[in-house]
Amino acid sequence: MSGSGAGAVLNTDDPLRGAFDSYTFRYWMRNWSGTRLGWKPMRSFGWGSSPPSSAMKKRKDWDSYFMDIATKVAERATCDRKHVGAVIVRDKTILSTGYNGSVRGLAHCDDIGHLMESTHCVRTVHAEANAVAQAAKNGVAIGGSVLYVTASPCWNCFKLVANAGVIRIVYKEFYRDSRVMEFAEEAGIQMVCIDEKNGR
């Protein structure tokens, strides 16, 4: 190998001649085959550069990334009627998370059963409310944030997150109350169904 710097030319008559940086030397030793007829390069690239990737993997967009986290958070839910997870994000940074579960210190549905009123279990605090409460408990302002939630908010949770300053809600499935869509538009809060956004 002769020369130095980017784009150095390989001397195939004597591949070990000249100065090497340690990475280039190791790479050529792994990727050359020695035969009686001489050394045959399998591939080459610029001096000291990384080997090219055979295929570039497409990265998740931010909405899908945070929704995946909300889906994982939902696994902590303690009411088996529906597991919901919520993540509050601003500037691509997680501010708070929440899932549906009982009031702090009280028994969960999974432990003692549901507390039903008009076909609803009212034992639990909803995921969105728990995420807002967790932020408040820790002194974290959530104005101007995005809420990622695995099911669209109920009417009460929508009012709560709207007044807390959430400006965008990304949800995975629609849940019960169409009033949320109407009032979100009036309040200037963007509602995004991630499956529709991703063409699913």
- Enumerate the active-site residues: 128
Distance CA 71, CA 73 (A): 5
Sign, CA torsion 66/70/71/72: positive
Strand partners, 97: 87
Q: Detail the DSSP E strand segments found in the chain.
A: 32-35, 38-41, 85-90, 93-99, 101-102, 116-117, 120-121, 124-125, 145-151, 166-173, 190-193
Distance CA 200, CA 197 (A): 8
